[in-house]
Each structure stands twice: as C-alpha cells, then as structure tokens.
C-alpha cells in the first residue's frame, strides 16, 4: 500500500511506526482468516494507517472510519483514495458514551 504523511509536528510518522513498524494490530490479524468478512469500526481513524493495514490483511472487510478532526479526515480520505480501497466509509464524527458536544483541544 501507499501512504501520504504530513510533516512534523503532525503525529503521522509516529502513528505509522506504531501501526506498521511495531505491528500493533498483528494480534487481530492472527485471530482471523484473510477471507473473513469482518466489520470494523476504526474510531479515531486519524489518517487511516490502521484501516489500510486491516483492509490489506482482510480484503473483504467493511470498515467504518470515524475521525472528527477535519485535517486528519482530509488526509484519511487521500490515503483511502490513493489505495483505491472499497468497502471503507469515512464519517467526520466521534464516538462517545452519550450524545454530547465535543471540542478538540490541542494544548
């Protein structure tokens, strides 16, 4: 797969290393068969590294990406389109325990 990352001070390279270098989601890959039709919610999808990794491991998976930050969501869309992934839905929403107004703080 191909990935576009943003420059520092974004966390893109750190997260890419976490997902791909450290193989953080390998245990999920080990639990299922490649042909399984998984339904995945990537809550806090960031720029899509986890979704792309899981989609490459499970081509039949349906993935729902939730990313509330509009800058991250724009980069997420670019990465999904670059890899021509089907079965991936992106919503600029957040997952929370109840209905609420959420605010992103960058401090």
Q: For the segment 42-93, what is each residue's pLDDT rounded down to a tens digit?
A: 999 999 999 999 999 999 999 999 999 999 999 999 999 999 999 999 999 9
pLDDT of 93 reads: 94
**CA nearest neighbour of 34 among 51, 59, 52:** 59
pLDDT of 92 reads: 96
pLDDT of 104 reads: 81
**CA nearest neighbour of 89 among 99, 78, 77, 79:** 77
**What is the CB neighbour count within 10 angstroms for residue 47?**
29
pLDDT of 106 reads: 76
pLDDT of 46 reads: 96
Contact 79, 63 (CB under 8 A): no
């Amino acid at each position: 797969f191909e990935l576009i990352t943003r420059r520092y001070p974004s966390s893109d390279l750190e997260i890419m290393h976490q997902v791909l270098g450290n193989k953080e989601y390998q245990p999920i890959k080990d639990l299922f068969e490649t042909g399984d039709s998984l339904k995945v919610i990537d809550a806090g999808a960031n720029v899509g590294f986890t979704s792309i990794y899981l989609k490459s491991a499970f081509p039949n998976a349906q993935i729902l990406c939730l990313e509330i930050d509009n800058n991250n969501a724009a980069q997420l869309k670019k990465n999904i389109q670059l890899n021509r992934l089907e079965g991936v839905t992106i919503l600029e929403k957040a997952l929370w325990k109840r209905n609420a107004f959420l605010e992103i703080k960058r401090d």
